[in-house]
Chains A and B, each alone.
Chain A
Amino acid sequence: MRKFLFALVALTLLFVNNTDAREFTAQQIMENVYNRPEGKDRTSDLEMILVNKFGDQRIRIIRQFNADFGKVEKRIMFFLAPADVKQTCFMNWSYEEAGKDDDQWIYLPALKKVKRISSESKGDYFMGSDFTYDDLGDRHPNEDTHALLRTETIDGKDYYVVESVPKEEDSMYSKTITWVATDGSWIGLKKEFYDEDGELLKILSVDKVEQIQGYWTILNSTMHNVQKDHKTIMNLSKIKYDTGIKGSMFTERMMKRGL
């Protein structure tokens, strides 16, 4: 009898999860993740701790400003540490228009001029970290084909498990698998990245999430390269939303002037 009751409860839970799964297709889940409210603009300090397989650490600190201007989303990053990259500035404009490449510029204090750089190399690693430029950006759900693999309960919370296969042939990943909370926050718990041979390459785990000014925000996360056994810990602090950042923040003037 107890076995029967346990099986009934398990079936009921599975049914509930499957009900959730039926409510949203994989495409809808990833669109909800993509469209998760992030405010009109955001200011934050980003600390990246690069840890090698021997446990040695290198630290990069960046102050970043993002703002959504409708058809274009702009980001500017001021590098604060280490000392040899201080005053370097990176600016990115990404467009809503399908197929339009991002525009990117970098200001190098040694050259004292703003240089336009190509945004094609999204597979390049950002500042020696385990995050590629593409990992750091908002990948549009239409760039992948999504499949809902299952729902899964971890530490008492339910997650959609969605597999995403890039549509472009030259992607550096053969697929990614994302665990997305079913509670309506549309925050991912973790994400696995598989290399071109289908082998697990990296695992992104979200360590701390908070609601700040009503927006769900990932505060701490870790990207672990399981093949090379090094990782990058990313900590976000001093987060402010909707402060009314003006367009004049995202200009050549600010790149040269700095903070």
Chain B
Amino acid sequence: MQISTRKSRNRAVGIVLLLALLLPAAVLAQIEPPAFNGYARTYVGVLFDGERQGDYAIVQNTLDLRWEQKRGKVGLYVNPLLYHYQDRADPLDLVFRQAYLDVFFDDFDLRFGKQQIIWGKADGVFITDIISPKDFQEFLLPDFDEIRIGVTAATLNYYIGNNSLQLVWVPVFQSNGYPRADSLWAFRRFDLPMEPTWDMSTSEVPANIENSQLFGRFSAITSAIDVELMAGYLYDANPTNHVTRVVDPATHQWTGLIVRPEHHRLSILGGSFAKTFAGVVVRGEGAFYHGKRFNIEDPAFADGTIEKSYVHYLIGFDHNIFGIDVSGQFIQEIILDYHEATQNDQYTNTATLLARESFLRETLTVELFVYYGLNEGDALIRFKLTYDLADGFEVLLGSNIFTGPTDSAFGQFHENDMVYTKVKYSF
């Protein structure tokens, strides 16, 4: 979850202080003037469907500052964001997206601090890209660099020619960020026969070394093919909801339900590739998850969950057709050794399509991006028109349209169809 509490702010300030302490005074004395850049942005969205038609979906101002210093073998990068929400009681939200220290050597680099770590070849889908948790407070609508939450980690990159080996240690687990229950983007609850009582006693993973996470990746880019192989020992960033039935011993009737969210350990093995065939870039990415838990409706399972191995993969392409950049992806999730009472389908199929073209010497860009759920026939259709009024100054007009059954991933937001505008100045 994005930092919005005092506790989180203190943690962010702590990271900066820690980085300052880590940077030796002798090095600080030699540092070149810092480089500043970033952007200021105003974002206004209006709902145009459903009961709340005409209401603002979002009124947000953002200041993104990127402060960077490099000197010889060390570098420092800090990226605070200040969000201002006109329509909230607590309007300011300070986020330290990244704050880290780099140390460069001839054959390897080290990075310490809060960082976004992004793996894989997929666009808009998270398969091997599982180190940085995701902020779903506004579903999948923010830009992808805003969806990914920085994690405090120590990273080693070792280089052999064009190949690299990356090892990541994440000492403290951080969950995905979810919307509040009263948010427009609150997810539809899984089906329960009655209103439950929530037991949050296991909703956080205690911060200790035993609960830290480890990841490794080998990456190569070559003339023939680009390849990544990865493995991880982690916690599921999505909690599993354990459901306990309260039964009256006299009547043997259910008198209540207790739902207890818990993050579980996972092991993951995966990889990705990209290769060009006759002008078409073909991409693939896949991962095998061991230890993933799913909700189940079989009374034989006392806590309403079942552990199953799980495969998540995609195959995609990028091509320029008649001057239009077109990308397509087919994504499949498979639960192995499937139990019929599992709430998720055994096979969940999704497709994405991106089409983009620029006009007027790349000052005007038109883009269409579609997520389409093949199981339920639901979709998120995103249209964007961006115009660069001047270098670094852009105006964006867009719309998000949700279709499909109300119990589907995209259809649940069918009343949140919106048009929006963003005005952004980069400096």
Contact = CB atoms under 8 A, between A and B. Distances in A.
Interface of A: 50, 52, 58-59, 72, 81-84, 86, 93, 95, 101, 103, 105, 109-121, 124-125, 127-129, 230, 247-248, 251-253, 257
Nearest to B117: A112
A112 B320 contact: no
A82 B37 CA distance: 11
Contacts of B223: 72, 93, 95, 103
Given A82-B391, A84-B39, A128 B221 contact: no
Contact of A247 (B116, B161, B279): B161
Contact of A251 (B159, B318, B319, B394): B159
B183 interface: no
27 contacts: A50-B361, A58-B391, A59-B391, A81-B391, A82-B392, A84-B391, A84-B424, A84-B426, A86-B37, A95-B223, A103-B276, A105-B221, A105-B226, A109-B145, A110-B143, A110-B144, A116-B275, A117-B281, A117-B318, A118-B319, A120-B278, A120-B279, A124-B320, A124-B323, A252-B164, A252-B221, A253-B109
Contacts of A59: 391
A59 B390 CA distance: 10
B118 interface: yes
A84 B221 contact: no
Q: Which of A58, A84, A119, A125 has the most CB of B within 10 A?
A: A84
Contacts of A248: 159, 161
Given A83-B426, A86-B37, A125 B362 contact: yes
Contact of A120 (B143, B159, B274, B320): B320
Given A116-B226, A253-B159, A82 B426 contact: yes
Contact of A128 (B159, B274, B361, B390): B361
A83 B118 contact: no
B263 to A, nearest CB: 25
User: Taking chain A's interface residues, is the majority helix, strand, or loop, or is none over half, making it mixed?
Assistant: mixed
Contacts of A81: 391
Contact of B162 (A110, A120, A251): A251
Given A253-B109, A257-B104, 16 more contacts: A82-B392, A83-B426, A84-B424, A86-B37, A86-B426, A105-B226, A109-B145, A111-B145, A112-B145, A115-B274, A118-B319, A119-B276, A120-B278, A125-B361, A252-B164, A257-B109
Contacts of A119: 276, 279
B276 A116 contact: yes
Interface of B: 37, 39, 104, 109, 116, 118-121, 143-145, 148, 157, 159, 161-162, 164, 219, 221, 223, 226, 274-276, 278-281, 318-320, 323, 358, 361-363, 390-392, 394, 424, 426-427
Nearest to A116: B274
Contacts of B363: 128
B279 A118 contact: yes
A247 B222 CA distance: 13
B361 A118 contact: no
A125 B362 CA distance: 9
A112 B118 contact: yes
B202 to A, nearest CB: 32
Contact of A252 (B162, B280, B390): B162
Contacts of A125: 361-362
A159 to B, nearest CB: 31
A220 to B, nearest CB: 21
B145 A110 contact: yes
B361 A84 contact: no
Sort A-B residue pairs by CB-CB distance and give the 9 closest, nearest first.
A120-B279, A128-B362, A82-B391, A128-B361, A84-B426, A83-B426, A116-B274, A83-B392, A112-B118
A248 B104 CA distance: 14
Contacts of A112: 116, 118, 145, 148
Given A93-B223, A252-B162, A116 B281 contact: yes
A252 to B, nearest CB: 5
A230 B427 CA distance: 26
A58 B390 CA distance: 7
